[in-house]
Every structure is written in C-alpha cells, then in structure tokens.
Structure 1
Amino acid sequence: MSEVMTIGEPMVNLIADSPETFMEARTLPRQMAGAEFNVAIGVQRQGHSVSYVTTLGNDWQGDLIVDYMNGIGFDTTGIRRMDGAATGYQLKVRSSDGEPKVIYFRAGSAASQTTPDIVDDLSFDGLKVLHVTGIFSALTDKTYETVERLIDTAKQHGALVTFDPNPRPTLWDSEQSMIEATNKLAAKADVFMPGLSEGRLFSGLEDPRAIADYYMDMGVSKVIIKLGAEGSVLFERDADGNRLETVVPSFVVEVVDTVGAGDGFAAGVITGLLEGLDDERLLERANAVGAIQVTSVSDSEGLPTTQELADFIASTPRQEVSL
C-alpha cells in the first residue's frame, strides 16, 4: 500500500502553443491536470508512494491518464472505469500576467459519478496521509459523501488527513453552502491549509491568528495559512493549549504560470510531515515547491525532484514576510 492517498478528478490538459488566445494555437500538446493530481506528482517526485482514487470513463482520455499514472509508479487500483460518462479534459492558454486562461470540459464527467462505495474496495494498509481538497467534494452530493467516508475510514486506520479547501464557488449552489460544507470537512482534518483570503472567507475572520484559533477550536491540529508570494505561517497549540506560530518567507522567483502553486505547497507539507521535518523546515520546503512550480508553464511538470528542491533552497534568495 502507498504512503499517501488522494481522491480527485485528473484531466487531460491541452496547452495552446501560443500565448493569449486559443484561436492562434496550431498544436495542443497533452499533459495531465487536476489539483489532487498535481499534489500526487509533487509527493511522488520527493520519493514517496502515492495511491490515486477516482472514476474515469472508458475513453481515450481515461486510458491516457491511467497509462501515465502507471508509468510513473502510482497505485491505480483505486480507479474505477465506467461507460456512459466521459473523462474530463481542459484547454489552457498562457497569459502575460501569469494567470492562464482555462476552459473546462468536465460537466457530467465520470469523476462526478463517483459514489461512496468506492471506499469499500480500497486498502488502507500502510497508509500514512490522506490528502483531500474542496474541489472533488464540490462536484456532486455523492462525491461529497465519498470524501466524508474516505476521511472517516482513513482516520480509523490511523492516517493523518490534510485538507486544502481550494474553493470553486461555481460548483456550489451558494457561497454559504460552500462555506458550511467546507468547514464540516475542515473539522475532520488534522492539517488545514487555506490561503489567507480563503481562511477569511470560510471563517468570517480577518486576522490570521483568529482564523487559526477558529479551526483549532474545531479540533484541527495544524493550521497552515499561505501568505501568497511572501511565504506561509503554521499555527498549532502546545500541551497547555497555548497558540504557537512559525512564519517562514518564500523565495524570489519570476512567475510564469500560477496554476499549481498551492498544489506544490501541499506536496511540500505532506512530504515534510512524512519525513518528520520541524515546522520551520516544513514550511521552507512547502514554500520552495510552490515557488518552483510557478516558474513552469505546465500544472505539474515543474515540480522538483529531491535534488532539484535541495539545490533551489540552497541557492535562491528569500522574500520579506510579516504577519
């Protein structure tokens, strides 16, 4: 069994060969996409094993994804295939401001047809970390129930649960329903990783310390807040209930594509937890992986190997950060 498990919607990513508009593109090179997939790639490149859970269609997109995952060593035994629904894909074009334009083709996808009984077929032997996001849980009521069951089952087997809210408001009936559902999942997590704006949205609070207290009062052990390009901060409580905080700056890089930065950050957190890094080194790693990812056009191709990460940390200047 793998050390890390995640559940999500992997998609084929068709990237335009010219910037700014799809109309100018003459070729669309194929890569892989999906927040949880990006995290899984980041974890695997740091030398840890990964199991991926999802439902894919019996189509060329599904074949391509499974073949790719098998080729890099993912455990794909948790992937179901089905007729009657397609595997999602997306079109992406670069933009000069680092915020790419993306068109999704995922409505009614096979992944959105996932049901909670998929959990019954999974092996949790040796599992150390389950990583979930707010994206897959937002697809349908059934995918939300699936994530809930997966979290509960993983925790029963002693696994740590990490949760990145990664909000997608368009997938929800209302902002309030998104907030309530996200906080319900956050209360089940051991490690919660919102961006600062996300933490403010979901808690209704402004100050990072107040946001951290809000979630630690729910039972979350570590609240890690991403501070954008500046860095990140980790909050936890000592044995006496006192709040502890660790603030670590990020790195100075030239931003090419912001997609996947948070996913790279999550991969850094997960692998840092697996390797028992102290809070400062854990955030340093997470900041570094996220910073490296924004220097690459693809969603995950830029995620570093162990040596590439070490070289980057040793040679790259740091940002200024304050809380």
Structure 2
Amino acid sequence: MKPTLDVITYGEAMAMFVAAETGALADVSRFTRRIAGADLNVAIGLSRLGFKVGWMSRVGDDSFGQYVRDTLAKEGVDGGCVTTDKRYPTGFQLKSKNDDGSDPTVEYFRKGSAASHLSVEDYVPDYVLPARHLHLTGVAPALSPTSCELAFHLAKEMRAAGKTISFDPNLRPTLWPSREAMVASLNALAAHADWVLPGIGEGEILTGHTKPEDIAGFYLDRGARGVIIKLGAKGAYFRTADDAGVIASQPVAKVVDTVGAGDGFAVGVVSALLEGRALPEAVARGNRIGALAIQVIGDSEGLPTRAELDALERGNLFATTDTERKVSETLH
C-alpha cells in the first residue's frame, strides 16, 4: 500500500567524495564518502522535520545505487518510485576542501547515469497525485530532454490536481545545450510554480533584471504567488502581490562548506509555508537553516531535526524582528 505523502520531488543522487585535506583535487589522497543531490537534500531536510517525503529517481545496479537506497531508508525518505536501472551506473562526484569559506571545486562523473534516463515513464499517478506539494529544482530537468519532459509533466499534473509547487532554479549551465535553452526551459517551468526561489545571480541570468524587486516581478507576472530571492550575506528578499521586504541573514562564526546552503534555505521556506506560516516567517526559517547548513562539511549534514529546529525557534534564536525586516528600497 503506497503512502500518502506531504511532499514529492525527483532528481539525481550521487555518491560524493569530499577531500579530507585542502589543495587541488589531483593532489588529494584521502576522501570521505557522503551523499549529494539538490532535490534529495531537500527531501532529507523535510523528512527530518517530520514531513512524509517521496523522492523519485533511477539508480544503477551498483554499490553507489545501494548507498543511495540505504541513505533513503536511514533518513526516512520514501523510495517507492526509485527504479534500479541495470543498464546505466549511479553517478558520483569529487569535492575539494577549502578552509577560507570559498566555494569548493566540484567535479562530476554523471554523464549517461541511470538518473539521466528518467522520463515520463517513471511517473506513477497513484504515488504522486495524493501528495500535498511538489518541489522541483533546475538540476533534474538539465539531466536530459526526457528528464526535462518529466519535470513539466509533474508540474502540470500537480497543478491540475490543485496542489502547490515550489521551484528552485539551481542553475547548472554546463548540463544544458546552451544558455538560451536553460533560460527558456526553466522560466517555462517556473511559470507552473506557486513559490519561486532563485539566488540573485540566478535571477539576473534568467530574467535579465538586476534588482530583486524586478526579478520577483518577472515571476509574479507569470503566475507565482510569492518569490523569494537569496541575497547571500544580505539575507533574502521576498515579494508577493501585497507585500515585499528583506529578512536579514543569520550571523555565522565560520563558513565551512557553502554547498547545500540553497537547499537548506528551500527546506526552511517550504516547511514553514506548508505549516501555514506567513511568508516573512518562512524566509526567516530559510535563512536560519541555510546558516546551519554552511557550518558543517557535507550537503545535508547540517540540516536540523524537528527537535533541533523547535529548540532554536523556542529560544528565539535567529528570530525575525522588525529591525531585521526592511522594505525592498533599502537595497538600492
């Protein structure tokens, strides 16, 4: 009997080998294995907060594929629509270690992977449509034309069923045949979403606008209910038809690993909105979890459990205050 899910998402998971020492990847001799994948990070984060989450994908009939399945079981993420594809392998990646807080170097080994062969054939209506919410990223549609087709099919089916959709562009330009194809496809996909969550740089690439309020307006004009734009150290800007503002970033003593910050942000925003919280509260939680994510090595290791998040919120740590919220004009 299939579970009734709160959230459904799909994409590619990879084994990730993180350097145990600083320096060029070619010089590193020791690595630690972890899990990676933007959509899977979000699935894990939401599961830790008590949501019933299903993640759809394909993995190879190999040790990396088993590692992905074992991770799903450990994290309580439902893998009922994860297919073992005996024809193609599970992808993996290498990630450097930096001590200065800068973005690490990541090398991918994913071409021709099992997940790149995702298609509409992987769609199971009885599994997907009962879910309350669909979360999409821009990574999975970039894997292949058939995976992109699946993203649009999921969005259209969930929209027709009256469910909510969030979309994080998560740009991967090297996976697309051209920048123009990436922009056209992801903006068309965003038009199906209720909540759009680009970074400021991503928004500039996708819309041609440089100001957060103009980027937000671009997506509001295309049907979004709310747009939340990540501003890095400046926090995050949000805009709806009735409200706009900035929620300040959370102070972090030391940045350890920046990869996964945006996924943590999405976990915070989506979880709060699904709980019926106001958008400013959701953005504050996004900042909060994003800040936690960058203080540890690994893409999902810093994502909190519900007990940990509740303790932070009860203690009023990182809480939204009137002084943290500013109108959008203060950015310019």
TM-score, length-normalised on structure 1?
0.93
Q: Corresponding residue for 2:228? A: 224
- In 2, the alpha carbon distance for the partners of 1:249 and 1:256 equals 20
- In 2, the alpha carbon distance for the partners of 1:205 and 1:31 equals 37
Q: Corresponding residue for 1:241? A: none
Give CA-to-partner distance per residue, 1:68-90, whole Å, 9 cap, x none: 20222111011111112100111
Q: Corresponding residue for 2:112? A: 108
Q: Corresponding residue for 2:306? A: 306
* One-letter code aligned to 1:215: Y
- In 1, the alpha carbon distance for the partners of 2:270 and 2:76 equals 18
Q: More deviation in 168-177 or 25-34? A: 25-34
| 2:218 aligned with 1:237 | no
8 Å contact 1:18–1:24 — kept in the other structure?
A: no
Q: Corresponding residue for 2:138? A: 134
SS at match of 1:16: strand
- In 2, the alpha carbon distance for the partners of 1:120 and 1:128 equals 15
- In 1, the alpha carbon distance for the partners of 2:99 and 2:239 equals 35
Q: Corresponding residue for 2:201? A: 197
Report the Cα offset of residue 8 of structure 1: 0.9
Q: More deviation in 128-137 or 304-313? A: 304-313
8 Å contact 2:129–2:158 — kept in the other structure?
A: no
Change (3 A) 1:24 1:170: closer
Report the Cα offset of residue 316 of structure 1: 5.0
- In 1, the alpha carbon distance for the partners of 2:76 and 2:225 equals 31
Aligned residues: percent identity? Answer: 39
Change (3 A) 1:317 1:5: closer
8 Å contact 1:55–1:80 — kept in the other structure?
A: yes
8 Å contact 1:124–1:157 — kept in the other structure?
A: no
Give CA-to-partner distance per residue, 1:25-59, whole Å, 9 cap, x none: 44322211011111111111111111000111111
| 2:251 aligned with 1:252 | yes
8 Å contact 2:21–2:97 — kept in the other structure?
A: yes
Q: Corresponding residue for 2:279? A: 279
Counting only pairs closer than 5 Å after superposition, residues 91-102 of structure 1 correspond to structure 2 as 91-98=94-101, 99-102=103-106
- In 1, the alpha carbon distance for the partners of 2:138 and 2:129 equals 25
Q: More deviation in 188-197 or 310-319? A: 310-319
Give CA-to-partner distance per residue, 1:175-201, whole Å, 9 cap, x none: 111111111101111111111111111
Q: Say how many residue pairs are matched.
A: 318
8 Å contact 2:288–2:318 — kept in the other structure?
A: no
* One-letter code aligned to 1:226: K
Query: Which runs of 5 or more residues in structure 1 are unaligned?
Result: 239-243
8 Å contact 1:78–1:121 — kept in the other structure?
A: no
Q: Corresponding residue for 2:291? A: 291
1:83 is matched with which residue: 82, 86, 89? 86
- In 1, the alpha carbon distance for the partners of 2:32 and 2:295 equals 18
TM-score, length-normalised on structure 2?
0.91
1:30 is matched with which residue: 15, 28, 33? 33
- In 2, the alpha carbon distance for the partners of 1:6 and 1:317 equals 29
- In 2, the alpha carbon distance for the partners of 1:2 and 1:14 equals 31
2:57 is matched with which residue: 54, 63, 81? 54
Give CA-to-partner distance per residue, 1:79-121, whole Å, 9 cap, x none: 1111121001111121123211211110110000111121135
8 Å contact 1:288–1:312 — kept in the other structure?
A: no
SS at match of 1:29: strand
Query: Which runs of 5 or more residues in structure 2 are unaligned?
Result: none
2:164 is matched with which residue: 160, 164, 170? 160
Report the Cα offset of residue 123 of structure 1: 1.3
Change (3 A) 1:122 1:76: farther
Q: Corresponding residue for 2:175? A: 171
8 Å contact 2:48–2:75 — kept in the other structure?
A: no
| 2:22 aligned with 1:19 | yes
Report the Cα offset of residue 311 of structure 1: 4.2
Report the Cα offset of residue 13 of structure 1: 1.1
